[in-house]
Each structure stands twice: as C-alpha cells, then as structure tokens.
Amino acid sequence: MRMASECYPCILDRAKFESDLVFSEEEKKKAALEELVDYMACHKGGVPALVGTQRERIIKRRSGERDPYRQLKEESNRVARDLLPVAGKFYDDAENKIEALIRIAAAANSMEFGVKGHDFNNSTFASVFLITLRERLQGDMAEVERRLKSFKNIFYLTDNAGEAIFDLFVIEKLVENGKNVVIGSKLEPILNDITASEIGPLTNVRVVPTGDVVGTARDHLSPEAASLLWNSDWLIFSKGMGNFETITEYDEILKGRLIYVFRAKCEPVAMKMNVPRGTLVASVV
C-alpha cells in the first residue's frame, strides 16, 4: 500500500503526539518535526508504514528514548489483562468459536495511540470492549474458518501492546485445537507494538523477531521470519494496519494462506478494503 494524501497529516500528527511524549522543550519538538517534513519531501510515494519507521527513528535518535511508548504499553497490558475475563466469557458463550476468536483479535486492534481520527485511550476502551466485540465484522467468515482449519501451522504476526494480551488468548485456543503456532513480534521497540522480548516471557509458544520496522516489510525481514513467511506450509495471520500496509506490497506471493485481521482506523486503509472507516476486518487473500 502506498501513501495517500491523508497519510501525510496522519504521520505528522503521530510525530507530534510522540514528540509530546519525549520532549518538554518546544524547540526540540519543532526540530524533530522539521526533520521528518524534510524526509517526507524527499521520499514521495512510499509505503506509509516505512515512512512511519523513519519518523520513529528520528524521534528516538533526537530524544535518546529507546521506547517512547513504554508507559502507555505497560498501561495497555494492564487494561487488557483486566478485560481478559470478558473475552473469555464471550468465547465460552459463542456458538461459533472461530468467529469469536477473530472478533476478539480484531476488536483488540483498537488499542493504538496517535492515529489521526482514531480517538483511543485505555479507560474508554475498557468501558466499551464488550460492545466492540459485537460490532460488524467485515469478511468472509466461512473462508476464514476454512483457512484456519486447513492449515496445521500458523505464523501469527502481532501488533500492539495490550492487544497482544488478547492475541495470546486467541493463540492459546488455537494451540488447544491442535495448531502449531509461532508468534512474530518486533525485534525492538517501535510505536506501541509488542516486542519479541516482551511477549516471549508471557507464553510457551515459540516467538521470533520479525524485523525493526513498522509492519512486516519484505526487505526488512529477520531470517527467522522470512523462513516462515515464504514456507507454503504456513498460514500467515496478520494483525494490524502496519502489517497490512507492508504485506500488501507482496501479498500475491502469499495468496491462499494469508488472513488480515484489524480495525480499519484510517481512511486510506478503509478505502483499500472498501469498508467504512472504523470497521473490524477479517480478510483472506
């Protein structure tokens, strides 16, 4: 997926959000934003997630802060743990267990900060989580179910902290149903994404680092992630918009074994999926 006009102010809005997290001085905020503007002016038509990666590197380099979202991530994980019983009851009460798992995974993708037009905070999410689980889910659930049943091996690409706590619940149920799951998470902190080192201690499932960029970009894959991504025996379960933005650049290679699951939090992604903004999506390729 390539940059749309809406991507430019969104990337800058998030840069301002992050600058407010790490800088107290106005001049330092302006300097970081100006460097990003210069970069965007010289790198037109790219993948939004990769332009966003450069934003992250600028702000981390200028601030010296390795993980600007650390406190927000920890808070998100606490909120998610408190809500796990709600997800568990939703799953237990569901007639269609696979759809329930997809709904939990998609609803959890709401847990993202700094996206222009996506008004999120942890306390509000906690109050509406059950409603979110019952929202409209766009996708061919019969085909999603067929894919999940037909593959023994699943490479589960995570996205945000907090959200990942629910992903672990989904993964636990997949494993209980005989699936061999490997988790792919970020090599190092970027945005509010969960990292391999953060999620690893929370599960007995194998975790591999995917790379050090926003999303799962073809030219920035770790060897471990590449070996699974290109293996036709593995179903790719891709969470979040960053993964969507990057994997759509090469998803024809993965045809027949790829499921995108996310909330369409921005207009360009919603338009590409032909759904209203804010829709929960489970799309097969």
The whole-angstrom separation of Cα 68 and Cα 57 is 11
Domain locations in the chain as residue ranges: 7-63, 70-284
Query: Do 23 and 64 touch, CB atoms closer than 8 A?
Result: no
Question: pTM for the full model?
Answer: 0.95
For residue 169, the Cα-to-chain-centroid distance in whole angstroms is 16
The whole-angstrom separation of Cα 93 and Cα 203 is 25
Helix (H) or strand (E) holding 138, with range, is strand 137-138
The whole-angstrom separation of Cα 186 and Cα 183 is 10
**Nearest of 176, 189, 179 to residue 153 by alpha carbon:** 179
**Nearest of 20, 50, 8, 33 to residue 218 by alpha carbon:** 50
70-284: CATH topology? Rossmann fold (3.40.50)
Q: What are phi and psi of 44, to 5 degrees?
A: -95, 150
Per-residue pLDDT tens, the chain, 285 aa: give them.
999 999 999 999 999 999 999 999 999 999 999 999 999 999 888 999 999 999 999 999 999 999 999 999 999 999 899 999 999 999 999 999 999 999 999 999 988 655 555 555 667 777 788 889 999 999 999 999 999 999 999 999 999 999 999 999 999 999 999 999 999 999 999 999 999 999 999 999 999 999 999 999 999 999 999 999 999 999 999 999 999 999 999 999 999 999 999 999 999 999 999 999 999 999 999
For residue 149, the Cα-to-chain-centroid distance in whole angstroms is 23
CATH topology match: 7-63 vs 70-284? no
Classify 7-63 by CATH class: mainly alpha
Angle among Cα 127, 117, 34 to the nearest 5 degrees reads: 130
**Nearest of 213, 100, 229, 51 to residue 157 by alpha carbon:** 229
